[in-house]
Amino acid sequence: MTCLRSVVVGCGSALPARCVTNDELAKTVETSDEWIVQRTGIRQRYLSDASETTSVLGTRAAQAALDDAGLAAADIDLVICATSTPDHTFPSTATQIQAGLGMTGGVAFDLQAVCAGFVYAVTTADKFLVTGSARRALVVGAETFSRLLDWEDRTTCVLFGDGAGAVVLEAREGEGTSADRGVLTSSLRSDGRHREKLYVDGGPGSTGTTGHLRMTGKEVFRFAVGSVTDVIDDAFRASGTNADDLDWFVPHQANRRIIEASADKLGIARDKVVLTVDRHGNTSAASIPLALDVARRDGRIKDGDLVMIEAIGGGFTWGAALIRW
Ligand code: ACO
């Protein structure tokens, strides 16, 4: 039976100009390269200056994705930006990306699911495309988490970085089987009881300030490894595929130990795991599209490959999507 599928036809990314190594960070924060690498796998991260806002990075990534797809902004009728660090409370960062691209048509909105934002955004765009509500979507993950960090808190400030990534999804006919190109299935979950484990201690409706990121690292670690594999199992079950069928596992890049423990638990071979946390740090909703862009441009991800994306974020929110590239 034929059906519509959301096929990835382009991807792109953008990083701030300034790269900060662990050694450079250790000059102002009481930490060391050895501690950070051993606990997280992070070696460096990119930190934005005042001019490199979330929408500026997001627009650069979106333009790169359009160029990669050989499309113009006018070909897009949906822009979804996953972010927890919007330039302003409103208007949405997505509308600023839309304007930055020179788009005057279509619909644009932000989606907030913290580090799971990109998986949520791909899933949402897919619903628009497979129902015929849109024809081509730009799905962007863009963040400037450096603005949310308490630079006096070494337990959190060493973990994060800034950046943006984007994909173009296009509605195309498929056969309705797992051999189709496009988003084959996705599974999302959330559970708001976990707020205290990972949150920002401010906001427009509470303190009237932006606030700082607060995290109980051990509890996040435990949940990330222990519980989020349910959405991946859902995706395998719904598509009739398994870990052996995967070409690439591209999880949210929070921590090397979380990623490797999750892959081991799922029976996914380590050489199928795309790892970029060493060079980008944790860029929240931007981490998956940044990693996809790295693996696509270095020749690892090829058309027809089966790719699982997966993430967990504050809330908690979590999800997975299985995509045939
Ligand atoms: N540099 C040096 N020492 C540090 C640092 C640092 N940056 N941060 C903490 N320490 C110290 C602590 O003070 C503590 O010292 P003590 O034993 O004298 O008290 C010691 O290191 C161990 O601290 P723990 O918090 O127990 O370290 P742990 O092994 O749990 O590692 C970490 C901390 C890396 C945060 C880990 O818990 C983790 O990876 N958690 C997952 C959280 C995560 O990745 N979050 C990302 C955001 S959430 C998301 O993206 C889904």
- For 82-97, the pLDDT digits (tens) are 999 999 999 999 999 9
Mutate to test the pocket of ligand 1, among 30, 218, 256, 278 (most ligand atoms within 8 A of CB): 218
Question: Which residue stretches of the chain have pLDDT < 70?
Answer: none
> What's 108's DSSP letter?
E
The region, left, alpha or beta by phi > 0 then psi within -120 to 50, assigned to residue 8 is beta
- For 255-313, the pLDDT digits (tens) are 999 999 999 999 999 999 999 999 999 999 999 999 999 999 999 999 999 999 999 99
Determine how many CB atoms are found less than 10 A away from the CB of residue 210. Answer: 14
Structure-token match 């501690």, residue found: 35
| Closest C-alpha residue for ligand 1 atom 13 | 155
Q: Please state the domain extents for the chain.
A: 3-174, 182-324
Sequence letter at residue 249: F
**3-174 CATH, one of 3.40.50.2300, 3.40.47.10, 3.40.50.620, 3.30.450.20:** 3.40.47.10
| Closest C-alpha residue for ligand 1 atom 11 | 155
Contact between 22 and 44 (Cβ < 8 Å): yes
Of 193, 168, 190, 172, the residue nearest 181 (C-alpha)? 172
Of 291, 276, 271, 282, the residue nearest 221 (C-alpha)? 282
User: d(Cα 225, Cα 242) in Å, to the nearest integer?
Assistant: 19
Sequence letter at residue 210: T
Atom number of ligand 1 nearest to Cα 316: 51
10 lines ligand 1 (CB under 6 A): no
Structure-token match 């058309």, residue found: 303
What's the confidence (pLDDT) of residue 313?
96
Atom number of ligand 1 nearest to Cα 221: 41
According to the CATH classification, is domain 182-324 in 3.40.47.10? Answer: yes
Structure-token match 């490959």, residue found: 305
Residue 140: alpha-carbon gap to chain centroid: 8
317 lines ligand 1 (CB under 6 A): no
> What's 198's DSSP letter?
E
Contact between 35 and 157 (Cβ < 8 Å): no
39 lines ligand 1 (CB under 6 A): yes
253 lines ligand 1 (CB under 6 A): no
Active site residues: 115, 252, 282
Rounded to 5°, the CA angle 210-252-66 comes to 85
Mutate to test the pocket of ligand 1, among 35, 39, 214 (most ligand atoms within 8 A of CB): 39
What's the confidence (pLDDT) of residue 249?
98
Strands 162-174 vs 213-215: parallel, antiparallel or unpaired = unpaired
55 lines ligand 1 (CB under 6 A): no
7 lines ligand 1 (CB under 6 A): no
Tell me whether the CATH fold assigned to 3-174 matches the one assigned to 182-324. Answer: yes
Q: Which long-range contacts (CB under 8 A, 24 or more apart) does 258-265 make?
A: 258/221, 258/224, 258/225, 259/41, 261/225, 262/224, 262/225, 262/228, 262/229, 262/310, 265/225, 265/229
The alpha carbon of 223 and the centre of ligand 1 are apart by a number of angstroms equal to 15
